[in-house]
Amino acid sequence: MAHPSQLGFQDAASPVMEELLHFHDHALMIVFLISTLVLYIIVAMVTTNLTNKFILDSQEIEIIWTLLPAMILILIALPSLRILYLMDEINDPHLTIKTIGHQWYWSYEYTDYEALMFDSYMIPTQDLSPGQFRLLEADHRMVIPVESPIRVLVSADDVLHSWAVPSLGVKMDAVPGRLNQTAFIISRPGIFFGQCSEICGANHSFMPIVVEAVPLKHFENWSSLMLEDA
């Protein structure tokens, strides 16, 4: 999860987020090289009187700075398109969870189970236990098995919301009357925090998302206990 004074991304917990981090580094390196080249040209032109008379008006230079940006954009676009297709790919999910946004909490329904559903509210600051995180803890977590394809169906009951978990590389708008879907695989056990990422009213900041990834055996035990309590 995020920590104070953090400058980079959170640690990746899914293959998609790992790809996004690699693409970020790839694009940032290209931007760095372009910035260095442009800065060098500007400094060279300002600090020397030996500038070539064709440097500002030359057919060859016009061709170069037309083709070079096009090639750079292609170098950025190709890996970006690959990740876009990867994010939209949903192959034989092992578990489907319906997520409904409300003002100001989330509802979860495990559609593969007959009666496994619950609401998830933020734990107020005064009720937090030592070591818990303010504005991020929820009374019920979305528990899922690790290394399993998960499909999440996202919608809203009232206004626009957005279901987002940065460590998983997931952000999906929750729109009333519309069912959006996303998919991911969590590659390691852990607890991953997110928040509603669409301004949805006075308590927009108080509807956290908590995803707990556990081994399959632990998930089966948890689902059995939840069904017994239902």
Query: Average pLDDT, whole number, for the chain?
Result: 89
pTM equals: 0.83
Whether the CB-CB separation of 21 and 29 falls below 8 Å is answered with no
Q: Which of 98, 99, 100, 95 is nearest to 112 (CA)?
A: 95
Q: Where are the domains of the chain?
A: 15-88, 95-229
What's the CA gap between 203 and 173, in Å, rounded? 17
What is the average per-residue pLDDT within 105-112? 94
pLDDT digits (tens, 9 = 90+) for 14-51: 999 999 999 999 999 999 999 998 898 888 878 877 66
Q: What percent of the chain has pLDDT over 90?
A: 67
pLDDT digits (tens, 9 = 90+) for 174-216: 999 999 999 999 999 999 999 999 999 999 999 999 999 999 9
What is the average per-residue pLDDT within 95-124? 93
pLDDT at 50: 63
Structure tokens at 98: 């319906």
Domain spanning 95-229, CATH architecture: Sandwich (2.60)
What's the CA gap between 30 and 117, in Å, rounded? 46
Q: Does the pLDDT value for residue 170 go beyond 80?
A: yes
